[in-house]
Amino acid sequence: MSNTTADRIALLKTARVLPDLINNRLKVAPDDEALRQYDRTAGKWNSYSYRQLADRILGWRRAYATLGLARYARVAILLPNGIDAVCADQGALSNALTPVPLHAIDTPGACAFILIDSQSSVLITNKLSRWQAIAAKQIPMPDLKHVVFTEETQLPAGSGSGVRLHTLEQWLKDGAGVPDSALAESPEPEDLGAIVYTSGTTGRPKGVMLTHKNFLTNVVDTTDCLTPVAGDVFLSFLPLSHTFERTLGYYLPLGMGCTVVYNRSIMLLAEDFKVVKPTVIISVPRIYERTYAKIQAVLGKKGPFAQKLFDWAVEVGWRKFCRKNRLPVEHSPREFLDPIVRRTLTRRVSQMLLDQFGGRLRVAISGGAAISQKVAKVFCGLGMSVIQGYGMTETSPVIAGNNLQDNQPRTVGHPYTSVQVRLGEGDEIQVKGPSVMRGYWNRPDATKDAFTADGWLKTGDVGTISEDGHLYIKGRIKEIIVTSTGEKVPPVDLESAIETDPLFSQTFVVGENKPYISLIAVLNPEEWEKLARSLKLDPRDPESLSAAPARQAALKRAKAAAANFPHYSLPRAVTLSLEPWTIDNGLLTPTLKLKRGPLSTKFAEAIKKMY
């Protein structure tokens, strides 16, 4: 069989269920590299071909068969990204079991809730300490019968809770003698491919029921937006519990015969970019915004002349990008110099940006939230076109996306081929199609509320559709801030813009029913130290954060970063902090989104003072 991109897409389309993605590649190119991950014990990168991956998955299938699980039984997977997470997922899917992915850094309490709510029979995790932290919650889990540990070699004699504990080595050994005839029959397209729990910015998370067909429809549709080619290397760093990574960074590349390399840790991401030299990344805006902030910090040290040269390089590149993508061109009196600047300055600055990602990146996908337009302009202008898309867990997950031939960063592109989009009451984006979820696990009322009377999924997002079919996102219905003067402000977009200034690590804007917008910000310690000393304040004194000069300087920088927003959107009061918001302290969701309710409670007194 030939190896053209068209052939790969054609083979991708033949998959009926998710295990077919790897099995089909096994038949045509068994020795191609499928996965690569770092072995900390040996201190080296290990590579696995499609044949080796398929053999390991078969071993997991046999091991699952020893547990006597009923068809469709839930298997919770609490693992970091890597080959074990893939085998746990594929082995379960191949045996017609239902994976329940848990976020690898979620809290023990949240994990316990999902185990109970999903009625999981099995938990696959890496460390005994993870299970002990969950069990310590002392919440009854009557359905859980087995826990398998991928990194333990010895376990205590008994769990004391009726749950049987297994090391992965022994469990796989137990399954080695299971004959093929004892393996479960393959799943059907309408069977569940996963129950994925939403982040739960308010209240308890809900389990989104996604079928094999839901996922595969989205995978095939994605090839119109992101078309992997032979030799593509994906660097995977978003959690596999996130449907965005699951579909685009796992099922798509393996279904197209590409290589997925697993990042060692987020702390080593910048280094892994340079080691792995990926050609494709699936990311959230924060990664691009941090890179932008890092570049701005370097330029700040070099002085205003370096900043002007950088801005000129971006200006020239942005004009070229706009012409290519049929966008309005921003003209300049020095435009006649563009050909010279493009061949020299822009090329050099562009390479500086590309080198931050390893130098070979050809596609950079951004999703999960809106990317700052300032950041998008810099990246696109310097030749690293960030492709922005839009979706939600309930749609497997992508609804719309830009592509390299038609990339309009202010939009999220055209709706996917299989997705119908309409605007409902209040311009709410509503969707229908074969990638839309079956519903919420054991929540019939919530499922009913999620759909209109005529069967369209309500996204909760406000949007518009241009004459040429591009979808624009204006904000969340519930998250849009309406001030007491009637102005509407999208907080996520404003926060992203402010965070392009390296002073601000995290931001939270407030102002619902208030006369103006206020800002609560966690500062970058290094940038705060520089700012404090320039203001003759002691950066180690907590009182310095509330000093008038510090607040005034921070507000000035926040307004400059958000200069493209309407005047009424700009913050007029600020509260500064150095304490990060994390998953552990309950202020971020597992997908790193702000928990606005808990933040409002934590800073209630500060918010009161700002008004």
3-class secondary-structure state, position 179: coil
What pLDDT sits at residue 203?
55
What pLDDT sits at residue 201?
46
Q: Are strands 233-236 and 280-283 parallel, antiparallel or unpaired?
A: parallel
Distance CA 265, CA 238 (A): 10
Using omega within 30 degrees of 0 as the cis cutoff, is the peptide bond preceding 397 cis?
A: yes
What pLDDT sits at residue 160?
56
| 1: amino acid identity, one letter | M
Query: Contact 256/204 with Cβ under 8 angstroms?
Result: no
The rounded percent of the chain whose pLDDT value lies above 70 is 98
What pLDDT sits at residue 372?
85
What pLDDT sits at residue 158?
62
Strand order in the sheet with 504-510: 504-510, 518-523, 573-577
**In 172-219, beta strands by DSSP E:** 192-197, 207-211
Q: What six digits make up the tokens of 437?
A: 């979820």
What pLDDT sits at residue 130?
94
CA distances from 111 to 117, 231, 260, 582 (A): 10, 37, 27, 16
Q: What six digits make up the tokens of 167?
A: 């090391």
What pLDDT sits at residue 202?
47
pTM greater than 0.75 (yes/no): yes
Write out residues in the chain with pLDDT < 70, as ranges.
1-2, 158-160, 199-203
3-class secondary-structure state, position 267: helix
| Complete domains list, the chain, with CATH | 31-187 (3.40.50.980), 481-610 (3.30.300.30)
CA distances from 32 to 17, 226, 232, 360, 367 (A): 22, 21, 12, 20, 29
Distance CA 474, CA 490 (A): 7
Q: How far apart, in Å, do the first and last CA atoms of the chain sit?
A: 68
Bridge partner list, 48: 35
Distance CA 578, CA 541 (A): 11
